[in-house]
Amino acid sequence: MYRSSRVLCTISKFSASPRYTFGTKIGNFFNRAAPSLTKPDAKADTLKDECVVITNGEGGLGADLAIQLAKLKAKVIIWDKNAEVLLHTKKYIKSTAGYDLEIHSCDLSNREDIYKAAETTQKQYGQVSMVINTVYLSSERPFLNTNDNLLDNVFRTNIMSHIWITKAFLPHMVCANKGRFVAISSMAAHTGLPKLTDLCTTNSAISSFMSALRTELEHTGVTGVKMTCICPYFLKNSNLHKNAKLRLIHGVGKEELMERTLKAILNDESEVFMPGWFKFPIALKWYCPNAISTFLKKVLIKDSNSLPIILDEDEEPNNVRNEEMFDEIRPPPFVEKITAPIAPPKSSINETAQQRLKQI
C-alpha cells in the first residue's frame, strides 16, 4: 500500500512544475486522492555533519547544492578539474552565502586521479557518507560527426567517473551500512534523441548502474547504502537547453532541480523524473509502436534530424587527445563539411537492370 502511495507522491507532490497546467492538474488530483498515504519529508537535520563530495561543483547546480547542504550543516567537499576556478567558487560562496566549503582538484575523466582524490579526501576530512555526481558532457552533434577522442572523453567523464568514484567510496559505506550515491542523470536515459547519442547512452548506463548496484547491495544485506538517480528534462539556461528547440514544456529550472534533489535525498527515493508525469509517456515505448514514441518526441522537440555528412577518405581521424575540445566544439578533422546526403552507390544489379531497360 505504501509503495503505491509513494508512486502517487512522486507524480503529485514533487513532479509537476506549477508553471504547466497539465502537470499541475495531475498533481492536484493525486494529492486529493491519497493525502494520508504520502510519506512526510524527513527532517533536514539528518544531514547534519554528513561528509558530502559533490563533483562538478565549480558552478551551476553543483555549487547551488553545495550551498544548500552547507546550510543544513553538512561538511561539503567540491571536486572539479580547474583548481583556479574552484578557489574562486569557494571565495564567492564564502563572501555571498557565508559558508566555508572545502575544494579538491580532480580530473573526473582520469581513473587514477579519482582514486588519489578519494584517498586524500578521506584522510583530510574523514569517511565520506554521500557523493553527488552532477558532471556530464555531450558532443551535441550527429554520431558520425563525432571523433573517437571526443566520445572517449564523454564516456570516461559521464559514466566511468561514476563507477570509479563509487568503487573508491563504497567499501567504507558498506562497512558502516550507511551512505548514499546521488547521480544527476536526465530524461535522455530513457529515450533516444538526435545528436545526443553519447548523452543518451551514458545516462542510460548511469540509471542501469545505480539500479543494478542497489539490487546487489540489498541482496547481500546492505540496506543502509542508498542510490538516488535524478532524471530531469532539459535544464533551463544550460548549453543543451539553448541549442534545443523545445515545444510545450520549456525545461526544468535549476532551483527547482536543486530542491527536488534535496527532497529525494531526504525521502530516500530511488529514481526521480522531472516533471514526474513524464514517466507515463516514456512507458509508452514498451507498449506502443516506435512511431508513437517518435511522434511524442516531435511534439515536445522540433525534430532536427541527423545532418548528413561527407567524409574525406584521404584524411585520417585525429588520434591525439585535445583537452580543449570541450571549450569550443569543433568538427573532427576527418569531416570536411556538412552538405547534402550522399547518393547511394549504384550496384551491379541496378546497372544490369538499366541496360535491359535500354534494350527494351
pLDDT at position 17:
43
Res. 115 pLDDT band, cuts 50 70 90: very high
Determine the Cα–Cα distance for residues 63 and 54; give it in Å rounded to an integer: 8
Res. 291 pLDDT band, cuts 50 70 90: low
**Is the predicted pLDDT of residue 164 greater than 90, yes or no?**
yes
Angle at alpha carbon of residue 182, lines to 176 and 184, rounded to 5°: 170
pLDDT tens-place string over residues 9-46: 444 444 444 444 454 444 444 333 333 333 445 556 67
Q: Which residue has the higher pLDDT, 284 or 112?
A: 112
pLDDT tens-place string over residues 294-343: 656 565 565 444 333 333 333 333 333 333 333 333 444 433 343 344 34
Res. 96 pLDDT band, cuts 50 70 90: confident
**Is the predicted pLDDT of residue 132 greater than 50, yes or no?**
yes
**Is the predicted pLDDT of residue 86 greater than 60, yes or no?**
yes
Determine the Cα–Cα distance for residues 151 and 197; give it in Å rounded to an integer: 10
Res. 277 pLDDT band, cuts 50 70 90: low
pLDDT at position 94:
87
**Element (H or E) spanning 32, and its range?**
helix 21-33
pLDDT at position 169:
96
Q: Rank 236-240, 260-264, 285-289 by mean pLDDT and report only the highest.
A: 260-264
pLDDT at position 317:
33
Class of the CATH-defined domain 41-300: alpha beta
pLDDT at position 139:
78
Angle at alpha carbon of residue 38, lines to 36 and 44, rounded to 5°: 125
**Is the predicted pLDDT of residue 137 greater than 60, yes or no?**
yes
Average pLDDT, rounded, for the chain: 71
Cα distances (angstroms) measured from residue 147 to each of 90, 142, 322:
35, 10, 11
Strand arrangement, sheet containing 225-232: 102-105, 75-80, 51-55, 130-133, 179-184, 225-232, 271-274
Residues in the chain: 360
Verify cis geometry, omega within 30 degrees of 0, for the bond prior to 275.
yes
Quick one: DSSP state of residue 352?
Answer: H
Work out the number of other CB atoms within 10 angstroms of the CB of residue 221: 9
**Is the predicted pLDDT of residue 348 greater than 70, yes or no?**
no
Range 244-272 average pLDDT: 77
**Is the predicted pLDDT of residue 2 greater than 50, yes or no?**
no
Range 230-242 average pLDDT: 63
pLDDT at position 312:
35
pLDDT at position 8:
44
**Is the predicted pLDDT of residue 260 greater than 70, yes or no?**
yes
pLDDT at position 135:
82
Work out the number of other CB atoms within 10 angstroms of the CB of residue 291: 8
First to last CA, the chain: 76
**Is the predicted pLDDT of residue 357 greater than 50, yes or no?**
no
**Is the predicted pLDDT of residue 194 greater than 60, yes or no?**
yes
User: Which residues 6+ apart lie within 8 Å of 183 measured at CB?
Assistant: 133, 162, 206, 207, 210, 227, 228, 229, 230
Q: Which residue has the higher pLDDT, 6 or 82?
A: 82
Instruction: Please answer whether residues 278 and 252 qualify as being in contact, where contact means their C-beta atoms are separated by less than 8 angstroms.
Output: no
Q: Which residue has the higher pLDDT, 192 or 227?
A: 227
User: Which residues 6+ apart lie within 8 Å of 232 measured at CB?
Assistant: 184, 186, 187, 252, 257, 260, 274
User: Which residues 6+ apart lie within 8 Å of 26 measured at CB?
Assistant: 11, 12, 16, 277
Determine the Cα–Cα distance for residues 353 and 350; give it in Å rounded to an integer: 5
The residue ranges of every structural domain in the chain are: 41-300, 309-359
Q: Which residue has the higher pLDDT, 58 or 331?
A: 58
Least confident of 73-87, 90-104, 202-216, 338-352: 338-352
Q: H helices within 190-253, ranges in order?
A: 197-219, 239-243
Angle at alpha carbon of residue 180, lines to 240 and 155, rounded to 5°: 40
